[in-house]
Structure 1
Amino acid sequence: MSSRTGIRAALLAVIALFGPSAPSEARIVSADDLSRYCAEEAMVRLDASRSELIILPVEQNRGQFTVNVQLDGRPGMVECRFDRNRKLLGVAVSGAGKTKVAHKAGPAAPKAALNKCLYTFGQEATVEKVSPLRPGYSEIILRADNGSRRVACTVPDDGHEISDWVEMKP
């Protein structure tokens, strides 16, 4: 076997093992998995275990599906919205302490990086955009829920320090 054939075989094995990667905005979830998918999002975004969650029934309104997942015994709720084809439209998190977060589907910021930016921002904010930068870094655009303050926060994915902080003009 030539080295070229060996490399091709190894690449096909990796793809078979992990599957082709698709951007999160293209994620299509089957009707049966809408609740499970949203529960997984809630566990990550609210830092909760599965036993701490209350999953409400899937709602359908005007061709869109909505799943709400609440924390049992403390504030916090995740709302997942899907279009009529069950394509993820967005995930919103509310009531989880001071870190109210909502953003459209797209690249998700690592939790440690997001928490560092929100803590530094110092007030309730909405995540407008998350852009992955060089490996291990993200840029997170935050907008204040009350007021016009906006910042661009560049942070390593482990959230140990902020690399760049830019107060943007409203």
Structure 2
Amino acid sequence: MLQSMEYIDLAHDSDQLIRIAKKWQNAKMTHMPYLLSYLMGAREIKDSELESLGIEIKNTTEDGDRMLVIPSEKLPSHIELVKSKLTNGFWNEIVREKEITFIFKFKDGHTKEYELSPENEQEIDNLCAEFNNEPPNKTANVYKYISDNKFYNDFMMEHYTDLINRKL
């Protein structure tokens, strides 16, 4: 924030004003990308562990589910934390502009990670149905299924509209 004296000086120094405007524009253009994750089944993951990674907890539900905003450079650390502490029988998805990562933790404790694509969507759909005890194909369009989550909806509609609205 500019102080009033600085503002007066800038009014007489257009070169300085231009430098500040360019600096602001560059900072805006290099804004840190972020990822979204609706974290369920992760009671073993403490808020402090997430916060120590620079992850913002936007909201927490009564059930303890957390809506996270993750700095992109912290993705590998977040994935490792989820793999190690996610409750068996749950999955977590991480939504990015061009990729959606699914981490499934099976009842026996092993994990499987996917980058969602039309080619593996059926397999991910089957796992979601299995983990949720739902009939197969209920979530055949996994992109639409994810976009139905209010936390993801606007982001998904901005980046995945064609995949959400496609006919299967």
Structure richer in strand, relative to its length = 1
- More relative contact order in 1 or in 2 (CA 8 Å, sep 6+)? 2
